[in-house]
Amino acid sequence: MEESASRKTNARYEVAKLKKAAVFEKKFDLKKLLDSSIKIEQPAAIHKQLQLKLDYDSSVPPILIGDRYRLYRILINLLSNAIKFTAQGYVKLKVKLVRKTDKFVIVRFIVEDTGIGIPKEKQEYIFEKFSRLSLSNKGFYKGVGLGLRIVKQFMHEMEGEIDLISEYEKGTQFICTIPFRLPLSDDFVES
């Protein structure tokens, strides 16, 4: 009980801190960020004997200008949740080009899993603060229910859209569509 209260307090602090942080756009290497996201979640996937895959559309420019930190947190939260709620099968991060101009690009990030899915009646509530599909006190799925709220907040701040396709007991797809600016040159990239 005390551990749960402490996690909620820490989560509230994190949300308050994030609300104050401005969107910070800088040039970054998308492929490195994706590889890092997969690498950090790989041990959890291996522990559960899940396949963790990256499907990267090579037409997506590798160097973008945007908020690297927010994108990383979005992907880590979605991948972590997908692994948490998947008992067998796979978790996949798909990255697709939606549209490209001389100055801008729109990229779609899809986190897909073969997990427990989200019942239709719960889908509209999962982005709310402290929303959970199951009770954490049952011991099945730990957490305080802030991850998807943060994802939605970051998507809004980055002027992106998030959609959900889920079938209960079959799996889920979180679809994030985000605009980025393109650099004039690839001379310096934030690592």
The CATH label, of 1.10.760.10, 3.30.565.10, 3.40.50.12710, 3.40.50.2300, for the domain at 27-181 is 3.30.565.10
**pTM, to two decimals:** 0.82
Which residues, other chains included, contact 185 with Cβ-Cβ below 8 Å and sequence gap of 6+? none
pLDDT by residue (tens digit) across 14-50? 555 555 567 789 999 999 999 999 999 999 999 999 9
- When pLDDT is cut at 50, 70 and 90, the band that residue 147 belongs to is confident
- The structure tokens listed for 161 are 């859209």
Q: Alpha helices, DSSP H only, in the chain?
A: 2-20, 30-47, 68-84, 120-123, 147-157
Weakest-pLDDT range from 53-57, 101-105, 118-122, 151-155:
118-122
pLDDT by residue (tens digit) across 75-102? 999 999 999 999 999 999 999 999 999 9
pLDDT at 72 over 70: yes
When pLDDT is averaged across residues 158-174 and rounded to a whole number, the result is: 95
pLDDT by residue (tens digit) across 106-121? 999 999 999 999 988 8
pLDDT (0 to 100) of residue 127: 76
Bridge-based pairing state of the strands 63-66 and 26-29: antiparallel
Q: From the CB of residue 4, how many other CB atoms can be counted at a distance below 10 Å?
A: 13
